[in-house]
Homo-oligomer: A and B are copies of this chain.
Amino acid sequence: MENVFDREERTMKIMILGADGYLGWPMAANLSLTKNKLILVDNYIKRTLFKKYGKEPLVSLPRLETRCKILKKYNKNISFVKTDCTNTQKFLNLFSRHKPDVVIHFAELPSAPYSMHNFKEGWKTLDNNLKSTFNLITAVKTYNRKCHIIKLGTMGEYGTPNIDIEEGWLTVKHKGRQQKFLYPRQGSSLYHTSKIMDTDLLWFYVRTFGLRVTDLMQGPVYGVKINKTLDADQFYPTFAYDDMFGTVLNRFIVQGIANIPLTVYGSGNQIRGYLDIKDTIQCINLAIKHAPKANELRIYNQFTQQFSVNELAKKVQNALKKIHINASIKKIKNPRVEKEKHYYNAKHSGMKKLGLKPSLLTDRSIIEIAEYVIKHKNKINKTIIQPKSFWK
């Protein structure tokens, strides 16, 4: 059984906000293989939204009450609390009862298309993401200022500037003087803008009240399998493939298997940094091990490889060919407003320095996802894949 901590390390109380999500659940499952005490928190908002917008994920997973029981086989010190992190009093009560050493904050609405669907979804994204973060800050500031907050940010906060994207910070030389700033950010959706605001909020409290925060600027994630111990459907994450909550590579694989074209938005020359879900887990474990000092906001760019959307589509096409699936690729009008031809060179050496051993994107890793999708092929709903949220 894997153990991400050295044996001599003390056990910690780790709270996972948004533990039912695509990343929250596998993170919880992975940490259940350690001796740490785990408190999983979720309000099932994503399940509500999947239902509301008719975007059910590929496999309907048991609720956390049930899945927690399965994890108890590995770790008795694991509990689930159904709480809305945007409810200030309930969240403060929960936090003060446990006083966790680490909080991994996944309790944010993660979708650009959802945030741009209409103004109600836009405000819901802003309100949910800011309030959950504000409540977490308030709890830490009030009850345990040493608590290490690990927040999932997004590479999308940086947008596509015409200069290299550095890792969180930028030293600006100007008229003979210099200043280190948070790297200037401008995202291409309201969701990304809400994450920029989160970062601003955390940075204010870090520098003013001595909080300790790690901000993981993550690229789009792909994959389902986490590790060999937890290699069964019940440990896999929610696999969304729709236009609103699905990430691009997972969606392409579903399209290929469903025998519909892989839909590339616009020219397909948009470049982003991507990573395997195994690496997300690895990075967060590394972040847990390397807590920042008081007054420190530690920022990592969390991705392993840069690809254009065209390259991704071709990689999926080539890998699927090896298992005798002929996928076609189709360019469609971009529903988003984003630069389709741009410079992109983003630094991502921080996690490597901490010891990240990346699982790079190969035919094998695409086929690993494809095998999962093929097993559930009969459940694919082809009608939920085409974009329905248009920026304009």
Residues of chain A touching chain B, judged by Cβ–Cβ distance below 8 Å, are 88, 119, 122-123, 126-127, 130-131, 134, 138, 142, 161-164, 170, 172-175, 177-179, 181-182, 184-188, 190, 193, 196-197, 200-201, 203-204, 207-209, 337, 343, 391-392
Contact = CB atoms under 8 A, between A and B. Distances in A.
Contact of A123 (B134, B142, B207, B337): B134
A188 to B, nearest CB: 8
B163 A186 contact: no
A200 B196 contact: yes
B177 A164 contact: yes
A119 B343 CA distance: 41
Nearest to A185: B200
Contact of A178 (B119, B162, B201): B162
B193 A200 contact: yes
A193 B186 contact: no
A127 B197 CA distance: 13
Contact of A163 (B161, B174, B208): B174
Contacts of A391: 208
21 contacts: A119-B138, A122-B134, A122-B138, A123-B131, A123-B134, A126-B130, A130-B130, A162-B179, A163-B179, A164-B174, A164-B175, A170-B174, A172-B184, A173-B173, A185-B200, A186-B207, A187-B204, A196-B200, A200-B200, A208-B392, A209-B392
A-B complex: 3 closest residue pairs judged by Cβ atoms = A181-B184, A163-B174, A119-B138
A190 B204 contact: yes
A306 B161 CA distance: 33
Interface centre among A203, A207, A208, A391 (most CB of B within 10 A): A208
Nearest to A184: B181
A129 to B, nearest CB: 11
Contacts of A123: 88, 131, 134
Contact of A193 (B174, B201, B337): B201
A340 to B, nearest CB: 14
A161 B181 contact: yes
Contact of A177 (B142, B163, B204): B163
A161 B190 contact: no
Contacts of A173: 173
A296 to B, nearest CB: 15
Given A181-B184, A208-B391, A172 B170 contact: yes
A111 to B, nearest CB: 16
A155 B228 CA distance: 55
Interface centre among A122, A138, A181, A185 (most CB of B within 10 A): A181
A182 B343 CA distance: 19
Contact of A186 (B119, B134, B188, B204): B204
A172 B127 CA distance: 32
Contacts of A175: 163-164
B163 A178 contact: yes
Interface centre among A161, A175, A182, A392 (most CB of B within 10 A): A161
Contacts of A209: 392
Contacts of A184: 170, 172, 181-182, 184
A85 B241 CA distance: 38
Given A119-B138, A123-B131, A208-B392, 11 more contacts: A127-B127, A163-B177, A163-B179, A164-B174, A172-B172, A181-B184, A187-B204, A188-B208, A193-B204, A197-B200, A208-B337
